[in-house]
A = this chain, B = another copy of it.
Amino acid sequence: MSTLSKRFPTVVIANLKPQVEGGKYPVKRVVGERLEISADVFKDGHDVKTVLLMGKKVGEARWQLRKMSELDNDRWSTSVGLREEGTYLFRVRAFSDPFESWLHDFERRLTGDQEDFSTEIQEGIIILQHAAELAEKRKNNKDAQALQDLAKVLKKSKADKVPAVFEKTAVRNLMSRYPDMSESTDSEEFVEVTVEHEQAQFSAWYEFFPRSAKGSATEHSTLRDCIPRIEDAVKMGFDVVYFPPIHPIGVSHRKGKNNTTTCEPDDVGSPWAIGSEHGGHKAVEPALGTVEDFAWLVKEARERGVEIAMDFAINCSPDHPYVKEHPDWFYQRPDGTIKYAENPPKKYQDIYPLNFHCEDWKNLWEELLSVVQFWVDQGVTIFRVDNPHTKPVAFWQWLIGEIHKNHPRTIFLAEAFTRPKMMQTLGKAGFAQSYTYFTWRETKWELMEYVYELTKGEMRDYYRANFWPNTPDILPHHLQNAKPAAFKMRATLAATLMPSWGMYSGYEFCEGEPLPGREEYLDSEKYQLKERDWDKPGNIKAFISKLNQIRKDHACFKSYTNIEFIPSDNDQLLAYYRWSEDPDSLILCVVNLDPEKTHSSNIHLDLEAMGLEAGKEFEVKDLMYEDSYQWRDSTNFVSLDPTTKPVHLFEVIKSS
């Protein structure tokens, strides 16, 4: 018995890119970007090949076809504009093109000593007639007639006149509309691309605690008190305002100020210890207001140009309704009591972790999905997910997939500060953005290496970094009791090294008092109301505003990958440029990494790569400080005094 299948691939199509884990996860892009798709395509013999990219939105029936072109060495590619959110599939189709092969051979034959071309002319006629039949089948009588006419022309042609007629673009285009694809090969593999809203890639986040919106240490603020803070965020140029959890806070084992285990009667507790007699994840802490207040605030914020991002923290306090209603969703001791969270010998008695592997896991997972759906229904489009790495990756892949079915615009930010592979895999599983190690990357080499890893390697296709200089959990030592220059410098790095960045409130006031010996804030507002003058003198709000404005005004900040570093002769000066082509923009950033001292250096531009002409003047205009210089060479001198000018944000203006 023959072991031969009915069909075998006539063309080898391999190494289809981009792919994440060989197609197991989709590649990520945002609306407005172009996607470059390439593949190795080759076959035995010398036929001229046609290589097509087939593409469609998932759910559509018909593939759209477009031609790919050969780059080099059997590598074919094309690029596709991405105009609408959704998931798209692409694959490659290749086949021998009898017409082009015939034409190519015909021309080469003419260079030899062949005299009789009747066979070749007859072969050409057959090819033309075959195309005419295809045109007839597709009811395009005009094309069919044109092809039949061409066959007649060929029949009467002298051999040496053939190329002149058939090399014409019009003839080739006509023929290419009726390719014989009966022997074509389609790639086994697909490129799957999730195209997301632009904000999934380009966003500026501002985090504050609604309960401290008014800046009082004694009076609990409400959601309705948040409008001035939101307007401040808008003024500073942010487009996402992120709230820590707003749900009812548990009372059992509630943590006191500075994370102490003893709690005073007036302590407000950690918003991450969710659930009380007032409800769980679908409720709002009564001291903040109601679900309706929140929905109102989301709408008010949106009218002002910002989205409110909600915290999705799958933590239950001992008072969470789930504890009574579904004790089987939690881990239990042999005696039947519920286990609190532990990392021995540390105990977290105010939190009960859920058991994602429990018998009733399906109902648990569905319930958690319904929580997200509940808030989506209140208008939320962005979720910051707390500690996703302590829940199964499969859970996130399922949950995000389910939400995206009806709400493809929903953005999930993964707050996973853990080992690299788990962080990467959460990105693959569907998180649109992820926190990063940026917070602890300080030196020039660390920053360069990390940005290259994120933007130039495989991670670019599935992991979108969101750079935060601080969070309520992390006051890195370089910001502890630091000068404003340090805050300006780190904000500039975050905002210009990545299309997405964020800061936790207090940053604009250069707050930096740590718990001694820790990278945590003293008197952290995670555990208490925070007194704050939101217009405190000496703040850097104007600097932040300008930074975000420059990001908005220049398209180069929207691209994830268009960043290159520039050599400087001083390890404390980090220089890099970003660019975009359509619209054209080119920004050169120079950052003094040392908030204590002035640093100077030559920096060495790659003029050609930057689209500049050696010896021809160009202007570099500092958008932050409104200075301007005329440069003309690749080597240029810069000097940054942290007290007056810790950074340059140069717009590079080519002379016309």
Which residues of A pack against B, CB within 8 Å? Answer: 2-4, 8-10, 12, 14-15, 21-22, 24, 40, 42-46, 73-74, 105, 108-114, 119, 122-123, 126, 183, 188, 333-335, 342-346, 356-357, 362, 365-366, 389-395, 398, 402, 419-422, 425
> In the complex where A126-B334, A362-B4 touch, is A74 in contact with B394 (Cβ < 8 A)?
no
Return 28 A-B CB contacts under 8 Å, by A number. A4-B366, A4-B398, A8-B392, A9-B392, A9-B394, A10-B392, A10-B394, A12-B393, A12-B422, A12-B425, A14-B21, A15-B21, A24-B188, A42-B421, A42-B425, A44-B390, A44-B391, A44-B393, A44-B422, A73-B421, A108-B345, A109-B345, A110-B345, A112-B346, A114-B345, A122-B333, A126-B334, A183-B357
Report the bound CA distance from A390 to B44 in whole Å. Answer: 4
Report the bound CA distance from A356 to B9 in whole Å. Answer: 12
> In the complex where A8-B395, A42-B421, A390-B45 touch, is A119 in contact with B334 (Cβ < 8 A)?
yes
Q: Are B357 and A112 in contact (CB under 8 A)?
A: no
Given the complex, which residues of B lie within 8 Å of A113, measured CB to CB? 345
Report the bound CA distance from A481 to B425 in whole Å. Answer: 61
Number of copies: 2
Shortest Cβ gap from A318 to chain B (Å)? 17
Given the complex, which residues of B lie within 8 Å of A44, measured CB to CB? 356, 389-393, 422
Report the bound CA distance from A395 to B2 in whole Å. Answer: 13
Given the complex, which residues of B lie within 8 Å of A105, measured CB to CB? 342, 344
Q: Which residue of B lies closest to A188 (CB)?
A: B24
Q: Are A74 and B419 in contact (CB under 8 A)?
A: yes
> In the complex where A366-B2, A390-B45 touch, is A333 in contact with B109 (Cβ < 8 A)?
no
Q: Are B111 and A420 in contact (CB under 8 A)?
A: no
Given the complex, which residues of B lie within 8 Å of A420, measured CB to CB? 73
Q: Are B74 and A43 in contact (CB under 8 A)?
A: no
Q: Are A419 and B42 in contact (CB under 8 A)?
A: yes
> In the complex where A73-B419, A126-B334 touch, is A398 in contact with B8 (Cβ < 8 A)?
yes
Given the complex, which residues of B lie within 8 Å of A109, measured CB to CB? 344-345
Given the complex, which residues of B lie within 8 Å of A183, measured CB to CB? 357
Report the bound CA distance from A321 to B6 in whole Å. Answer: 27
Q: Are B362 and A2 in contact (CB under 8 A)?
A: yes
Given the complex, which residues of B lie within 8 Å of A4, measured CB to CB? 362, 365-366, 398
Given the complex, which residues of B lie within 8 Å of A9, measured CB to CB? 392-394
Given the complex, which residues of B lie within 8 Å of A122, measured CB to CB? 333-335
Shortest Cβ gap from A568 to chain B (Å)? 31
Q: Are A14 and B392 in contact (CB under 8 A)?
A: no
Point out the residue from B111, B123, B188, B344 that lies within 8 Å of A345, measured CB to CB. B111
Report the bound CA distance from A15 to B24 in whole Å. Answer: 11
Of A4, A43, A390, A402, most buried by chain B (CB within 10 Å of CB) is: A4
Q: Are A3 and B402 in contact (CB under 8 A)?
A: yes
Given the complex, which residues of B lie within 8 Å of A345, measured CB to CB? 108-114
Report the bound CA distance from A193 to B102 in whole Å. Answer: 43
Shortest Cβ gap from A467 to chain B (Å)? 22
Report the bound CA distance from A168 to B402 in whole Å. Answer: 48
Q: Are A123 and B357 in contact (CB under 8 A)?
A: no
Shortest Cβ gap from A189 to chain B (Å)? 8
Given the complex, which residues of B lie within 8 Å of A3, measured CB to CB? 398, 402
Shortest Cβ gap from A411 to chain B (Å)? 21
Q: Are B74 and A422 in contact (CB under 8 A)?
A: yes
Q: Are A123 and B344 in contact (CB under 8 A)?
A: no
Q: Which residue of B lies closest to A123 (CB)?
A: B334
Shortest Cβ gap from A42 to chain B (Å)? 5
Given the complex, which residues of B lie within 8 Å of A392, measured CB to CB? 8-10, 43-44
Given the complex, which residues of B lie within 8 Å of A334, measured CB to CB? 119, 122-123, 126
Given the complex, which residues of B lie within 8 Å of A24, measured CB to CB? 188
Q: Which residue of B lies closest to A345 (CB)?
A: B112
Shortest Cβ gap from A112 to chain B (Å)? 2
> In the complex where A114-B345, A333-B119, A333-B123 touch, is A394 in contact with B21 (Cβ < 8 A)?
no
Shortest Cβ gap from A201 to chain B (Å)? 24
Shortest Cβ gap from A429 to chain B (Å)? 9
Report the bound CA distance from A298 to B14 in whole Å. Answer: 40
Report the bound CA distance from A517 to B24 in whole Å. Answer: 53
Given the complex, which residues of B lie within 8 Å of A344, measured CB to CB? 105, 108-109, 111-112
Shortest Cβ gap from A103 to chain B (Å)? 11
Report the bound CA distance from A309 to B631 in whole Å. Answer: 69
Shortest Cβ gap from A186 to chain B (Å)? 14
Of A24, A126, A344, A395, most buried by chain B (CB within 10 Å of CB) is: A344
Report the bound CA distance from A418 to B9 in whole Å. Answer: 20
Of A15, A24, A42, A114, most buried by chain B (CB within 10 Å of CB) is: A42
Shortest Cβ gap from A357 to chain B (Å)? 6
Shortest Cβ gap from A495 to chain B (Å)? 30
Q: Which residue of B lies closest to A429 (CB)?
A: B12
Q: Which residue of B lies closest to A343 (CB)?
A: B46
Report the bound CA distance from A74 to B335 in whole Å. Answer: 35
